[in-house]
């Protein structure tokens, strides 16, 4: 199986920055796509950003120009750089990834989430 562990969340003041990490481990052959979702209290889960094996990226309009998604293939780790944070960015952030395991089986994995709180 493929497991994902998020890290880097915490408390930050408005205008500050955080970098989230998503470390993938297990029997990985290839990661086709890695993405970040978030869910704030009382709101639906929403897509924040995704990156595909071809290097394509997509961002929610609310974070475009402030957040940057990237990955390190050698480390099987993805990142979400968050700048100019706003209180409305407060949420639990989840990492997701899919692809093929070393046994050539499709996987679709989710991390358990990391809390990001933006507050004065």
What are the distances in angstroms from CA 7 to CA 49, 68, 103, 112? 16, 16, 28, 10
> Could you tell me which residue, 1 or 18, shows the higher pLDDT?
18
For residues 19 and 30, give the distance between their C-alpha atoms in angstroms, rounded to a whole number. 24
At 93 the pLDDT is 98
At 74 the pLDDT is 87
Q: Give the residue from 4, 7, 2 showing the smallest Cα distance to 80.
A: 7
Give the bridge partners for 10, in sequence order.
116
Structure tokens at 40: 């704030």
Give the model confidence (pLDDT) of 63-73 as tens digits. Answer: 999 999 999 98
Section 35-49 average pLDDT? 97
At 53 the pLDDT is 85
Residue entry with tokens 């692809």:
99
Section 3-28 average pLDDT? 97
Give the model confidence (pLDDT) of 91-110 as tens digits. Answer: 999 999 999 999 999 999 99
The chain-wide mean pLDDT, for the chain, equals 96
Three-class SS state of 90: coil
Instruction: Indicate the pLDDT class of residue 39, thresholds 50, 70 and 90.
Output: very high
């Amino acid at each position: 199986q493929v497991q994902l562990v998020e890290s880097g969340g915490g408390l930050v003041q408005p205008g500050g920055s955080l970098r989230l990490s998503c470390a993938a481990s297990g029997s990985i052959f290839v990661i086709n796509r890695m993405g970040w979702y978030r869910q704030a209290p009382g709101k639906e889960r929403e897509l924040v950003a995704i990156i595909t094996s071809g290097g394509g990226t997509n961002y929610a309009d609310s974070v475009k120009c402030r957040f940057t998604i990237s990955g390190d293939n050698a480390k099987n780790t993805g990142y979400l750089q968050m700048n100019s944070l706003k209180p409305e960015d407060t949420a639990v952030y989840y990492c997701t990834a899919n692809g093929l395991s070393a046994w050539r089986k499709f996987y679709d994995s989710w991390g358990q989430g990391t809390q990001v709180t933006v507050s004065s």
